[in-house]
Structure 1
Amino acid sequence: MAELEEIGDRATAHPARAQNLVYTLPHTTESIAEFLTPILSRVDPSAGGTQVVVVTRDAETALTISETILRLSGPAAIEVVPITSAGRAGRIFRSRPVLAVAGTAVELSGLVRASLLKAEAVRTIAVAWVDDILGEGEETVRALEALLGELTDAGRVIVARKATPALENFVERYARRARRTGIAETVAPQLPVDYELPIIMYLTVARSARSIALRKLLDDLDPPSALIVARDEAAASEATQTLRTLGYHQDDKSINVIRGEPGNAAAHTVIFYQPPVTPAELQRVAVAKPVQIVALAAPGEVAWLREL
């Protein structure tokens, strides 16, 4: 993080263009904080204008980014306004300063065309996650390219799940000489010699409806024991509250919420409250030797889940 801040200090000293960066990160709330916190820390409220633009695959990802920054930084920090509709967002732009936004390339381009998003004020444009956006089809890619063409003086931050030829081509075109950063690969534990992971099932659900989906899933499966795996504290708290409303107590031995390693506990069913993002996450739950594994996944996360 100190290295990123140093890069940013050097970059913002040059008024024309900030340092380009490429992050290789899983699609998690922790990753949002990893790439976006250094960018927001360099926003200058006194300068005015929209200084940070985050391009997302869909409105739901934009909302997740906004919620994550608000939860981590609090209401007094720089907010990221989600652009779920250019028309609605236009009213916000006309009523008060907007320092940072997140939305699809189509909606953001609408703000540029309406002269509400001023290209000269934008210091950084982040594309997260670029693999998702490139996979959306030609119309979405053209909208992204047009937006990058409008914001030519902004530094580029490209976020991807993994290095691919498509990513390298995109970086070569739009973020040349970018500095690379990311998280170290997690070592996957060995599977128990007498156990093979079952086929992983998934339930497609909006992130905002995970708690309802968890309740219905437990009713339908009625597992004799289960581990609900949550990646971050907010998700773990939400899943725990759902169990409480279903009558499970904190000291219940059969149905539990965990973060990270499952320990030595065996479980009939493992439910990923948030989908796994690395093979290591899947193999960790093998310690519990589950009979079935189910992942709750947003529509945009299914393709990545299948790759695992």
Structure 2
Amino acid sequence: MDALGFAAEQMVGRERAAQIEAEAERVVPEVTDAPAWPVLRSQLMLLAASGADPGEVLRNAVRDGSLEAARDPAAVLSYRLNWVDRNGPLPWLSKVPDRLAEHLQWGPYLASRSELVRDLAAQVHEASGATEHRWQEALSADLFPELVAQISVWRAAMGVPADDLSPTGPTQVPGSASRWQRVLDDHVGLSSPTLRHWTAVARQLAPQLRDDPQTPVLAAKLASLAHEGEDLPELLGRAMRRGPLPDDHAAAALLYRLERRPRQEPIHEVWETVEFTESMGQRHERMRPPGMDRPHGYGIGI
């Protein structure tokens, strides 16, 4: 992706790049100050290098919906522009545009990079069947080998650490990658009747859980608790009453609440016979809570 953006800007040239930036600023004032502007800018350069009119494409994206409520208008526009052509080296990457592919300098280089990505993805795909995946063990579900292989490629490409037990790792920035992440997460949630059921239950609790990559892990935890005989409606109700879930890492927050729930210790009834002094001539039985000190002067037989 970095190579494509850099090559596109080199082909476009400094003067044309400045014109594209100025036109973007006219279409959406102050968009060049938005946090996601570098990503949007790279997309516009790639459009120009491919022969499209970046300004017209940007205006069409603006017409798709209002940007008034957007905290980062560049991110919203980037998401609207970021659709993938088929035949890319990975499901969320487009192929090298024809004009770049035909360029004498950049064409062969980008073709080699693309082929290298394909080769590495094929190696990870092939090795996935012989690898023990901690994230898969955490789900306690038998997934189709092809799904496991696709997730393995995703995790390798995104650098998801082995100790991250959510199948697809951290939530990606909105765009083609995040769309593919949702596809993988949905397939995991539908992979078994148990996960399908508890994924649906989890997603009804809060809107944030619909697109959270840790929701399958939460569903697996709910399935485990149900198997242990826990009262899930009561547990979930108590967890949700602790307050709204955060927008980010909502599934992790709910998992934390479930794992840190107060455990009620069983009360063991202890009956004892208390013999009073002979002068009182009385004998009776009573309940003594565990750990209560015995009264002085009493002869006790249990």
- The TM tier, using the shorter chain, reads under 0.3
Instruction: Flag the structure with higher strand content.
Output: 1
Indicate the structure whose relative CO is greater, using CA pairs within 8 Å and at least 6 residues apart.
1
Q: What TM-score comes out, normalization by structure 2 length? A: 0.28
Q: What TM-score comes out, normalization by structure 1 length? A: 0.27
Larger radius of gyration: 2
